[in-house]
Structure 1
Amino acid sequence: MHGPSHSPSAMPQPLTLYCKLVQSHTVATLDAQNVLLFCDLHLMNEYTSPQAFAGLHAQGRAVAMPGHNMAVVSHIIPTHPGLPRLIADGPSALQASNLAANCQRHGIPLFGTQDRRQGIEHVLAPELGMIRPGMVVICGDSHTTTYGALGALGFGIGTSEVEHVLATQTLVYRLAQDMRIRVDGQLPAGSTAKDLILMIIGRIGAQGARGFVVEFCGPAIDALSVEARFTLCNMAVEAGARGALIAPDARATDYVLAHAADIRGPARTAAQQHWQNLHSDAGACFEVEHQFDASDLVPQVSWGTSPDQVLPITGRVPQPEQLPDGPQRRSAEQALRYTRLAAGAALAGTPIQHVFIGSCTNGRIEDLRAAAAVLRGRQVAAGVRVMVVPGSGTVKAQAEAEGLAAVFTQAGAEWRQPGCSMCLAMNDDVLADGVRCASTTNRNFEGRQGRGAITHLMSPAMAAAAAVTGCITDVRQLELHHD
């Protein structure tokens, strides 16, 4: 990271957006690589906070700034239709009750199991106006990078760091390097932000952004909706990124002002003026730069057990013997054993038994609209189970008001309560061994959705296409039925 020159005769050094955010939140410089960083908002969930609270209590400490913290039960909550929502699993129920007790003890807002707005933390926080440009937002969950869509520096932290933040509202933070990814052109019909980020991860690799905060820019990024930008930044961590940023433009600031009811009057004017400076300066230094063109982007589908093992829907499964001898070949061989795919086979036409539409990557209203456009007037294929899980109670209510929920149920899909659900096998929604799932989630690791379960990552529209055809299908071959 590059800081400004303090020589009185020197011109200020141009800064990246990332550097601006870090500098504006640095309480103290610890050494050349580490600073003490103030955290505007700390999000907590039920599975990374218990040990942190226990450590805090063992030392007799209080939470330093309760109002800068928020908690939500999301990963373990069942999504079965109907209320009330009861967690039957004993250890999971204990996690939820402990979180509630800790939040009550320290005066931390909690979106618990019975809250009508309850949902996934990374969907809930922006829609409730908690995320604003220029903030530092942290959470014990790696997909906190999502908030870069609004020009906020978000990243995941570990349990010991959660305790430090609770006690001080600061974090000992190791500086990252800067990477810029420019995407030219415009996304063609049938391709989405999910396809774009899968393509990028496939090109640069699952470790391609390790140690970097990535700033996305370019005409294709400018044209994305805010919800699509959430998807993009959410999955940047799958390339190893320590953060993802998009400079806030009018579209982003309009989103924030529409959701943050407390920003009005003089505060609104001051905020807008501040946000206008949240961009990388001309001539700012990036250690690594990549450039892509979205114009010919084809819908993407993962074939292996890492998000970078991805292909266009028109592609064929790699043949390991054609790869260089070494880790890449061995990884491909192991991935094919796990996914039970034949080397050289076409991805299109691969039968699936399950479809999952949801998650912090693709559980927002625009994602559900895209899936409904495919499912409207069609039926889920025989032998396929489809679960549609909204990202929050607010998304659920809106989808029902728009008639999307009716589209899903009429097609034969299950319309469920909000939560993380089948993104990861931490709740009731778990796939059986050998079940192949078309999924809108962010990870396809071995066992991610259930022991022996096989995950193919794709966009909501592509998942819906698989639902009605019973196999991995190019959605561009289907007629879409928008309202």
Structure 2
Amino acid sequence: MGQTLFDKIWDAHVVSSNEGFPDILYIDTHFIHEVTSPQAFDGLRARGLPVFRPKQTVATADHNVPTWNQHLPIKEELSRYQVDMLTKNCAEFGIELYGLGHPFQGIVHVIGPELGITRPGGTYVCGDSHTSTHGAFGAIAFGIGTSQVEQVMATQCLLQQRPKRMKIEVNGQLQKGVGAKDIILYIISKTSAAGGTGYAVEYAGDTIRSLSMEGRMTICNMSIEMGARCGLIAPDETTINYVKGREFAPKGEEWDKAVAYWQTLYSDEDADFDAILSFNAEDIEPMITYGTNPGMGIGVTQHVPETLSFEEKEQGSYKKALAYMGLHDDEQLLGKPIDYVFIGSCTNSRIEDLRQVAEFVKGKHKADNVTVWVVPGSKQVQEQAIREGLDKIFDAAGFPLREPGCSACLGMNEDKIPAGKYCVSTSNRNFEGRQGPNSRTFLASPLTAAASAITGKVTDIREFLKSEPELSELMN
């Protein structure tokens, strides 16, 4: 019997395995940020322990940082304290920090790939659930809790139960205006927010293969939103070409050795999966969520489901979600006025996302009723956008380019959506209060978000094809 990609990587990193106990799994790189690391550092101090392998720990400030005037002291007291503590802890324990002002600073799941730290065949963890992003490179990557952050700091290993394996295949040609974000929102809408619980999910099929690395990262990023332990995609030439030449990628003979290994990383034809799901790309239209978990998604032209279409035991929570969102049964979101648009987060803040949005909004201007935040995922993305003149396009359209950080994805910093306001967001979660107390979030793709910003209401990006056929290439 052949092996899955997941099992090949897992087995290569098992330090010790005993029946009836979790495996001891070696971790190649540990990413940390200011929110989930302070207690772990305190734990090491209390036990008189160093960070076991500080060179394999990568630190950055992202969750609590402001996205304006990063050269000034942080205004929010708690945010300032957490960022200051990260600086102090990294200095004390010998960890290099990509803090505010550093050319490598940014969202942890953006800087790892763009710096060449994330590579095929590795194991990556972080005290952040969207660590699954790194699985796009053909790696095992997952979020961990604060006590586990301390465990990795102390030993560079984790106690882990091997999850079940699921394969999700997507095949066929996507419609114009449909992209990676729509694919994953569609999958989650079909599997539910718990449909991947207990599984490591491998995404496959010719539709997935056709995606750029940025698109693949978007897919894997939201694996956690269907409850999966992690998501991964087998590496190929697209992967190898992306990693080549990056700051910390292997060089010379080491590069050749690495590529030879990466080319062995795929699921064997006779590999056994615990579950297999298949979807047709042609069935996917631009997606948008209507509720308070990412599984509550519909095609942008569809209507909010009827309460009676759910099992009786689910109807109470469904009504609560609709009440929070100010929606009702059978309502169509298309054309609904909005207040904010957020383009950013570890899901959709890479240079490809910004290029796509800039190309679309060139020569247009946002609606008067909408406030738009465009937040690059890293300092490198910000600088690249400026070099390409995207900032000028954004400014002309009323989409000011801010500075890097998690921003309005999670309402943990100064960028919060006001209570009761509707935001079309390219982020990954729409829970109650996720973007600010009592804020209301519609998750969507960068193109859907940009189109909605221009019209001032929830919009089907495909409508622009009718009057602007030159957008066809952009919308493939």
TM-score, structure 2 normalization: 0.96
2:16 pairs with 1:36: no
Counterpart in 2 of 1:168? 155
Counterpart pick for 1:145 among 132, 157, 167: 132
Q: Specify which of 395, 408, 415 is matched with residue 429 of structure 1.
A: 415
Corresponding residue for 2:298?
311
Q: Distance in 1 between matches of 2:316 and 2:211?
A: 37
Query: Aligned partners of 2:400 and 2:344: how far apart in 1?
Result: 12
Partner of 1:5: none
Superposition map of 1:196-235 within 5 A: 196-235=183-222
- Provide the residue aligned with 1:465 in structure 2: 451
Aligned equivalents of 1:288 and 1:106: distance in 2?
43
Bigger Cα displacement from structure 2, 402-411 vs 297-306:
402-411
In 2: Cα distance, 1:261 partner to 1:414 partner: 31
* Match of residue 380 from structure 2: 394
Alignment of 1:60-75 (within 5 A): 60-75=48-63
Please report how far the alpha carbon of residue 83 of structure 1 lies from its aligned counterpart in structure 2 after TM superposition: 4.7
Distance 1:434 1:323 in 2: 26
Counterpart pick for 2:79 among 67, 76, 92 = 92
Answer yes or no: is the 8 Å Cα contact 2:117–2:249 preserved in 1. Answer: no
Gap change, CA 1:33 and 1:18, over 3 Å in 2:
farther
The answer as to 2:366 corresponding to 1:380 is yes
What's the offset of the Cα at 1:116? 2.8
Q: Contact 1:47 / 1:95 at 8 angstroms: preserved in 2?
A: yes
Task: Work out the CA distance in 1 between the residues paired with 2:238 and 2:360.
Answer: 27
CA distance in 2, matches of 1:262, 1:144: 19
Aligned to 2:267: 280
Q: 2:96 is matched with which residue?
A: 109
In structure 2, give the amino acid aligned to 1:453. Answer: S
Identify which range, 351-360 or 84-93, moves more after superposition.
84-93
Q: 2:395 aligns with which of 396, 409, 412?
A: 409
Q: Quick one: distance in 1 between partners of 2:246 and 2:239?
A: 11
Report which stretch shifted further, 52-61 or 374-383: 374-383
Contact 1:186 1:223 in 2 (8 A): no
Distance in 2, Cα, partners of 1:297 & 1:94: 44
Q: Answer whether contact 1:85 1:113 (CA < 8 A) is retained.
A: no
| Secondary structure at the counterpart of residue 20 of structure 1 | helix
Aligned-pair distance for 1:67? Answer: 0.5
Offset of residue 331 of structure 1: 2.5
Instruction: Please tell me whether residue 351 in structure 1 is matched to residue 319 in structure 2.
Output: no
Report the alpha carbon displacement of residue 33 of structure 1 after superposing the two structures with TM.
5.2
The 5 Å alignment of 1:183-202 reads 183-202=170-189
Pairs aligned (count): 469
* Separation of aligned partners in 2, 1:265 and 1:143: 32
- Does the 8 Å contact 2:340/2:372 carry over to 1? yes
Q: Of 426, 442, 459, which aligns to 1:456?
A: 442
Contact 1:35 1:175 in 2 (8 A): yes
The answer for unaligned runs of 5 or more in structure 2 is: none
Secondary structure at the residue paired with 1:326? helix
Aligned equivalents of 1:86 and 1:227: distance in 2?
Answer: 32
Match of 1:52 in 2: 40
* Residues 1:369 and 2:355 aligned together: yes
Is 1:123 the counterpart of 2:110? The answer is yes
Letter in 2 for 1:102: N
**Distance in 2 between residues matched to 1:173 and 1:85, nearest whole Å:** 42
Unaligned runs of 5+ in 1: 1-12
8 A contact 1:78–1:85 mirrored in 2: no
Q: For 1:351 and 1:170, how far apart are their aligned partners in 2? A: 49
Q: Residues 73 and 96 of structure 1 are in contact (CA less than 8 Å); yes or no, is this contact kept in structure 2?
A: yes
Shift of 1:262: 4.7
Q: Any conservation in 2 of the 1:26–1:37 contact (CA below 8 Å)?
A: yes
CA distance in 1 between partners of 2:40 and 2:248 (Å): 32
The AA in structure 1 aligned to 2:64 is I
Distance 1:28 1:56 in 2: 23
Structure 1 residue 85 displacement after superposition: 4.3
2:8 pairs with 4, 20, 23, which one?
20
Secondary structure of residue in 1 paired with 2:63: coil
Q: Secondary structure at the match of 2:435?
A: coil
Which of 142, 166, 169 is residue 155 of structure 1 equivalent to? 142
**CA contact under 8 A between 1:41 and 1:68: conserved in structure 2?**
yes
Q: Match of 2:125, SS?
A: strand
What amino acid is the match of 1:465? A
**Per-residue deviation at 1:373?**
2.3
Q: Specify the code of the residue in structure 1 equivalent to 2:324.
A: Y
